[in-house]
Amino acid sequence: MTTTQPARLSAGLAVAFVDALRAEGIAIPTSGTIGYVDALTAVGIENESGVYWSGRACLITRPEDIDTYDAVFERFWFATGAGELTSSLTEEFTLAMDSDDGDDGADGERDDTQLDGPPPIELRFSSAEILRQKDFAEWTDAELAESQRLMRQLRFVGSPRRSLRLTPAPRSGLRLDLRRTVRSALAADGEPIRQHFRRRSSRPRRLVLLLDVSGSMEPYARALIRFAHAAVAGRQRVEVFAVGTRLTRITRELARRDVDEAIDRAADAVTDWSGGTRLGEGLRRFNRDWGQRGMARGAIVVILSDGWDRGDPEALGEQMQRLQRLTHRLVWVNPLKVTPGYAPLARGMAAALPFVDEFVEGHSLNALEELANVIGGAQDRRIGNTVFSQRPREERTP
C-alpha cells in the first residue's frame, strides 16, 4: 500500500511530461507513457539523473529528438522560462514554402470533380502533354497540383542487385532445397525422387534522393519534392533528404499517401526552406551520419541541385568523392542543364562533376521521366553475375 502513493504521483507527472513532449512534435505511443511510469517507479522520482535517463530510454527513439527532449525536460522539471524553449528550438531563420495554400485549394477542387463523375480524359491528356514539356519554373500552382497525377505515373523500376535471400528455382538451380526435398520424399515413402532447388533472389537497390531546397532552387524544389513523394510512395527502400544550410531527413514526412499532407509535413520539418545552400556541408553531414553507416552503400544516390553553393567548392568535391566511393551510382540532376549555353560554371557544380556518374536534366516532367529511366536502367550494364561496378567515367562529361 505504501507504494501506491508515489506511483500515482509519478503517473500524473509522467503523463503531463509526455504531453509536453508531444506538444513539441515528438511522437510517443501510449505504451511509451506506460513504460515511463513503470520506469519512474523503478528508479524513483527523486533521482534527477534517473528521471532524465528513464525518459530518454522509454520515450525517445531517434537521436534527432534528443535536443527537443532536453529542452522540454529543463522546462518541465525545472520550469525555466517557457519562452526560451521555442527560441532555442527554432534556431536559424525560417521561410515557409510559399505555394502551399494554392496547392491545397486546387487539390481540393480536383477531388470534388472526381466525385462528380469520370474526369474529362481528353482535356487532361492535352494539358498533360503541354505540362510534360514545360519548365517547372514557369508552372502555376494549379499546374503543380495537376502534376501530381503525372508524377504518379513515373515508375521507378528498382535497379536490382543479387540478394542473399533464396527463392525456389524451377529446376536444376545451384542449391538443393532440402526442406522441400524432404517434404516430397515423405510422400514417396522416403525416397527423394523429386529434388527441389533454390537460387539467390534479387531485390531493388536503395534509392537516396538529396533535394537542394535553397533559394535558387525554389522554383524547381516545389515540383521536385512531388517527384520525391512519388518515389517514396511508389517504391520500397527510398530515402529523401532536404539539403539547404542544414540536412533534414524527410522520408517519414513524405511517406504519406496524401501528397499535400506529406509535403506540408516535409515543409514543416525543413526549417531552412529557400534559404542559402551549403551543399558541401550538407553532403558532409549526410556522409557522416547516414551514408557511411550503410545507407549509401550500394545505393543509387540522386542529388537534385543547381550546383550553386556558398560553401567551399573544394570541400564539396571532397564530399562528392567520399559519396561516390560508397554508392553504386551517383546521379546529379540539374534543372539548369537545359538552359541554352549552360555550362557547369557554378563553382560547386564544377567541383562536383568529376565524381558524378550520370549528369541529367531535371527541369520538366519529360526530363524526370528520363531520370526515372536512369534510376531504373542503372543496372542494365551489369546484369547477370558481374558484380564489379564498371563506372564509365568517360561518359560523365556534360
> Which of 111, 189 has the CB closer to other proteins?
189
- CA 396 and chain centroid, separation: 26
Q: How far is CA 58 from CA 21, 30, 39, 187, in A?
A: 13, 11, 8, 52
DSSP one-letter string for 196-227: -EEEEEEEEPPEEEEEE-BGGGHHHHHHHHHH
Q: How far is CA 211 from CA 75, 140, 278, 371, in A?
A: 35, 21, 12, 14
> Which of 188, 343 has the CB closer to other proteins?
188
> Which of 292, 373 has the CB closer to other proteins?
292
> Which of 75, 284 has the CB closer to other proteins?
284
> Which of 323, 331 has the CB closer to other proteins?
323
Give the SS3 label for residue 172. Answer: coil
Do residues 82 and 56 touch, judged by C-beta distance below 8 A? no
> Which of 293, 393 has the CB closer to other proteins?
293
Do residues 131 and 146 touch, judged by C-beta distance below 8 A? yes
Give the SS3 label for residue 339. Answer: coil
> Which of 57, 343 has the CB closer to other proteins?
57
Helix, strand, coil percent values for the chain (each to nearest 5): 55, 15, 30
How far apart are the C-alpha atoms of 253 and 248, rounded to whole Å?
A: 11
Q: How far is CA 62 from CA 23, 56, 59, 118, in A?
A: 17, 10, 9, 45
CB of 8 to other proteins, least distance (A): 19
> Which of 165, 381 has the CB closer to other proteins?
165
| Binding stretches for other proteins (CB under 8 A) | 29, 31-32, 35, 38-39, 42-43, 47, 49-50, 53-54, 56-58, 60-61, 63, 66, 163-166, 178-179, 181-182, 185-187, 189-192, 206, 237, 239, 251-252, 284, 287-288, 290, 292-295, 297, 322
Q: How many CA atoms lie within 13 A of 92 on its CB side?
A: 12
CB of 82 to other proteins, least distance (A): 26
CB of 282 to other proteins, least distance (A): 14
CB of 147 to other proteins, least distance (A): 28
CB of 203 to other proteins, least distance (A): 8
CB of 313 to other proteins, least distance (A): 17
Do residues 183 and 176 touch, judged by C-beta distance below 8 A? no
CB of 290 to other proteins, least distance (A): 7
* Cell 568523392 sits on residue: 321
CB of 42 to other proteins, least distance (A): 5
> Which of 127, 181 has the CB closer to other proteins?
181
Burial of 166 (0-12, 13-18, 19+ CB in 10 A): middle
CB of 157 to other proteins, least distance (A): 20
At residue 247, φ and ψ (nearest 5 deg) are -110, 130
